[in-house]
Structure formats: structure tokens, C-alpha cells
Chain A
Amino acid sequence: MTTLDTRRDQPLTEDRPLWERYKAAHHWRSAAEEFDACKFGFWLFLSTEVLLFGGIFCAYAIFRTLYPAAFHEGSASLDWRFGGLNTVVLLLSSYTMATSIYCIQTGKFRRAQVNLVITLVCGFLFLAIKGLFEYMPKWSGWFFDPTMAHGTLFHFVEGYGGKRPGSLFDYPFAVSEQMPIWWSVYYSGTAIHALHVIIGMVLIARVLYRTTKGHYGPSHYTMVEVSGLYWHLVDLIWIFLFPLLYLIH
């Protein structure tokens, strides 16, 4: 009974789908209790994630108050349209995630899978926008232009790049002296957030796969709920990061 999979001792009848045959682990009194406890436990974990990002927000608050000019200048070189687009993408993905949970709760498995796929696509879009349109030009000066306005997919703008944190800073036209601090806060905040986006996408991909195998249904969808909570947290963090980084005026 103390092996890793505590459910293997339950009898499996072949005709019922996996989610109907789900039995809670042996130390729980019922599946309902297990679900409630898992949710509560995951909210505890989410609070740890909030406090993790809290450190970044504290650094941001301190340095923005100490060096408002540097933060102002730095924020002005961020394009709020990309940030806004990313916000919309993440909000949409939160919506599709919540919808997929609703679909599983009501037994609409195909629609749930479609929603999960859209969530994943949105996550990927977020990372692509961030990486290709924001990080790459700022770091190196190379622009990715799908409209091929300059004739090629990638073109280099001299002197644009070098907006890097700390000792890697190499941008020629900065005015405020504490610009490296601004870029450090920007990169550390958004990079740690992007890492969480990737983790969230892994969770959702796994949930998608297991949904196709029939593991989740109206009476058992704990993992879907929990992955959804993680994804919503990722969205929440961005809701705060976006105005703080992009909309300083």
C-alpha cells in the first residue's frame, strides 16, 4: 500500500472510462475530500509563487522610487503595444482554460481539448512575442519583421541593441545612469515570469494528453483544475507586471 501509485490496488472494470473508475488515495475518506484538499494545497503553493514574485515587485518599487528618471526612460523604450498584445493573449488563454474546465465538468471532452489547445497556442504566442519582438531587438539589435519591410525576415538596427542588465549593458544612447538597474529589473521580472509560462504550458500539455486518454471527467478533474489555477496565476502576475513595466509615464 505504500508504493508510489496508491491506486493500483483498486479493481478495474474495462467498460467504464478512467475518470469514472477513479478512486481516491487510501488515506482520504472520500474523493470529495481529496479534491478539496488538493485545491487548498495548491492555493498554498500559489501563495508561495506570489511571494516569490513579491521579491521582484519589492525591488521594482524600491528602485522606481529611487530612480524615477531611469525607470521612466527605460519604460519609454518598451513598446506598450506588444505588452498590451501579450496581456490580451494571456487573458484570452485564461478564458479558454476556464472554459476547458467547464467543458470537462459537463462532459464535453472534445471542446475541452480544443480549449486546452488554444490555451497552449496562446502561451506559445506570448513567448514568441516576448522573445522575438521584445527580447531579441533589445538585447542584440536584430529585429524580426514578418512583413519583410526591410527585405529580409531579420534585419539589424545598429545602436538599438545593448539594452542588457548589469555588466552586459552596451546601449550607447542612455541618458540616466541607472539604466542597467532598470534593465535588470525588467529582465529578471519578465524572465522569471516567462519561466513560469513555460512550466504552466508543460502542465497544460500533460493535462491535454491525459484528457485524450480519458483520465478526466465530471467527477474527477483535479489535475485540470490545479493546472488551471497555475495558469491563472501566471496571468495574474502579468496583469501586474504589464502596467508597472510598460505604462510608466
Chain B
Amino acid sequence: MTVTNPKTHREEFNELDPHGFELPGHGQHAHHIAVGPFTLRTVLLFLLMFTALTVGAAQAEVWIMHTLDIELPWWVNVVGAMAIAVVKSVLVMGYFMQLKYDNPMNSILMCFCFFALGLFLFFTGLDLFSRGAVYDYKAPQVVAGGTGNQVTQAGGKPMVTAARERWMTEWGPEKFALVHAEVMSHGHAAVHEHAPVVSSENRSRPLTDAPPAHGEPAPHTPSTPAPAAH
């Protein structure tokens, strides 16, 4: 069909049929791959299984925490869930979206896309999570939480506190506790019992006390009242 001209090293075409459409056995039709129902059903089954697995893993983590009193490191949850999600997405992309049967260019494109996303997450995280990391003298100075003044509804308090106080004033303490109990029992997983982690350098929390002087460590007392019993 095409020969290479040795002098110019270029392909020489039959000028009447440059794309070779008229050659025997070389038609114009695309090779449409049909992914059959058996494959689709199997993939669906696997997807549902992995969904059950991911939910099961999360429940197992809760069970381990409550029964065996072991607190797994925070990344176990994330890594596990993400790994299963990645497997599911590979299945969807490969079989439902037919990447497996397609021009490899499409797969390369998606790889580039996820790589770009990864770069975005990585470098943003590099900044956001290293704010206090490099020089100790900087760390306690950040009072980036401000005082919540910009949200006029909150009237200078964190919005969560403002909401609680507003309802407390409206209902009074007994009704507040009653409603709280009712809400907590209303058919979903109970609130986790650990107290909120009090943060340091770059975690914005409004402080009611004056910010620490240069060189002093940040106070580690929570500024909110103790959570209502539940």
C-alpha cells in the first residue's frame, strides 16, 4: 500500500486511494467492541462486593475501636477506602467505559488527568501542611482563626457556639437536653465520643484569651464549654 521513498524517507501514497480504503479486507468500519452481558454482570457483581467490603471495613474499624479499644491510625481508614475506591473505578473505567478495549490513547489521557490532579493535591498539601513545620518561632503566632467577627450572625463567636447559645436561650436548659437526646436517638450512628482535638499552629480556632507572646507555646485549653452529655 505505501512504500518508503529511499531518497526522501517519506511514505509514497497511491494518490488515488491515500488511506487504503479500496484495498481488499480493509474497510471503513470501526471495530466496534461489544462488551457482552456476562462480562457486565460479573463486573457489577464485583462492584457490589467491593461496596460491601468498603462499608464492612468502616464498620469493622468502629467495632475494633469500641470492643477492643484499639484506635487505628487515621490513615488506615483513608488508605483502605481509597484503595477499594480505586479498584472499583478501574473496573468501571475498564469495562463499563470500555477503556480496556479502546484506543490506548484514551487511557493515557486519563492517566495524565489523574496525574495533574495528583500534582494539584500534592503541592497544595505541601504548603498547607507545612506552615508551622519549618521554623519553630513561627508556629505559635498563628491566630488565623480570628474572632469570627466577619459573620455578623454569630456576633463575634464561632458559629457553632452561637447556634448552641441561641437555641439554649430559646428552649431553656431542660428542653435543650430533651431535644438533644431525641435528636441523637433519631435513627443514625451515634456521635463519636472523643472530645475535639485541640490544635496548634495552623488550625484556625478562635481563642478567647489573648494570643501568646513571642516564644511562648500556644495554650492547649479548648475555648468551648464541655459538650453536653449524650
**For A159, what are the chain B residues with a Cβ–Cβ distance below 8 Å?**
167, 179-180, 182-183
Decide: B89 and A157 in contact? CB cutoff 8 A: no
Nearest-CB distance from B102 to chain A (Å)?
7
Decide: B82 and A32 in contact? CB cutoff 8 A: no
Decide: A174 and B106 in contact? CB cutoff 8 A: no
**For A248, what are the chain B residues with a Cβ–Cβ distance below 8 Å?**
77
By beta carbon, the residue of chain A nearest B45 is A95
By beta carbon, the residue of chain A nearest B226 is A175
Asked if A154 CB lies within 8 Å of chain B CBs, one says no
Asked if B224 CB lies within 8 Å of chain A CBs, one says yes
Question: Which of A171, A176, A177, A248 is the most central at the interface, judged by chain B CB atoms within 10 Å of its CB?
Answer: A177
Q: Which of A54-62, A185-193, A195-203, A207-215 contacts B (4 or more CB under 8 A)?
A: A54-62
Decide: B51 and A99 in contact? CB cutoff 8 A: no
Nearest-CB distance from B74 to chain A (Å)?
6
Q: Which of B2-10, B54-62, B133-141, B213-221 contacts A (4 or more CB under 8 A)?
A: B54-62
Complex: how many Å from CA A162 to CA B188?
Answer: 17
Decide: A236 and B93 in contact? CB cutoff 8 A: yes
Decide: B106 and A40 in contact? CB cutoff 8 A: yes
**For B191, what are the chain A residues with a Cβ–Cβ distance below 8 Å?**
73, 76-77, 175
By beta carbon, the residue of chain B nearest A219 is B29
**For B25, what are the chain A residues with a Cβ–Cβ distance below 8 Å?**
none
**A167-B151 contact in complex given A65-B129, A174-B160, A176-B160, C-beta closer than 8 Å:** yes
Decide: B192 and A76 in contact? CB cutoff 8 A: yes
**For B35, what are the chain A residues with a Cβ–Cβ distance below 8 Å?**
98, 101-102
**For A236, what are the chain B residues with a Cβ–Cβ distance below 8 Å?**
89, 92-93
**For A73, what are the chain B residues with a Cβ–Cβ distance below 8 Å?**
191-192, 196
Docked complex: B44-78 residues within 8 A CB-CB of A: 44, 47-48, 51, 54-55, 57-58, 61-62, 65, 74, 77
What is the size, in residues, of chain A's interface with B at 8 Å between Cβ atoms?
80
Decide: B183 and A157 in contact? CB cutoff 8 A: yes
| Chain B, interface residues (CB within 8 Å), range | 35 or more
Complex: how many Å from CA A46 to CA B98?
Answer: 14
Asked if B34 CB lies within 8 Å of chain A CBs, one says yes
Q: Which of A4-12, A13-21, A83-91, A123-131 contacts B (4 or more CB under 8 A)?
A: A83-91
Complex: how many Å from CA A228 to CA B98?
Answer: 10
**For A47, what are the chain B residues with a Cβ–Cβ distance below 8 Å?**
109-110, 112-113
Decide: B96 and A95 in contact? CB cutoff 8 A: yes
Decide: A249 and B77 in contact? CB cutoff 8 A: yes
**For A135, what are the chain B residues with a Cβ–Cβ distance below 8 Å?**
none
Decide: B160 and A179 in contact? CB cutoff 8 A: yes
A–B Cβ pairs within 8 angstroms, 22 of them:
A30-B21, A30-B28, A31-B28, A35-B32, A46-B110, A50-B110, A65-B125, A70-B196, A79-B189, A91-B44, A91-B51, A95-B96, A98-B40, A98-B95, A102-B35, A167-B151, A174-B163, A175-B195, A177-B206, A178-B204, A247-B54, A247-B81
**Chain A: residues with CB nearer than 8 A to chain B?**
29-32, 35-36, 39-40, 43-44, 46-47, 50-51, 54, 57-58, 61-62, 65-70, 72-73, 76-80, 84, 87-88, 91-92, 94-95, 97-99, 101-102, 105-106, 157-160, 162, 167, 169-180, 218-219, 228-229, 232-233, 235-236, 239-240, 242-244, 247-249
Other A-B pairs, 12, CB within 8 Å; known A94-B44, A157-B183: A47-B113, A50-B113, A54-B120, A69-B194, A91-B44, A102-B35, A105-B32, A172-B164, A172-B168, A173-B183, A219-B29, A243-B84
Q: List the 9 closest pairs (A to B, CB-CB), nearest first.
A: A32-B30, A243-B81, A47-B113, A172-B167, A247-B58, A159-B179, A69-B196, A30-B28, A54-B117
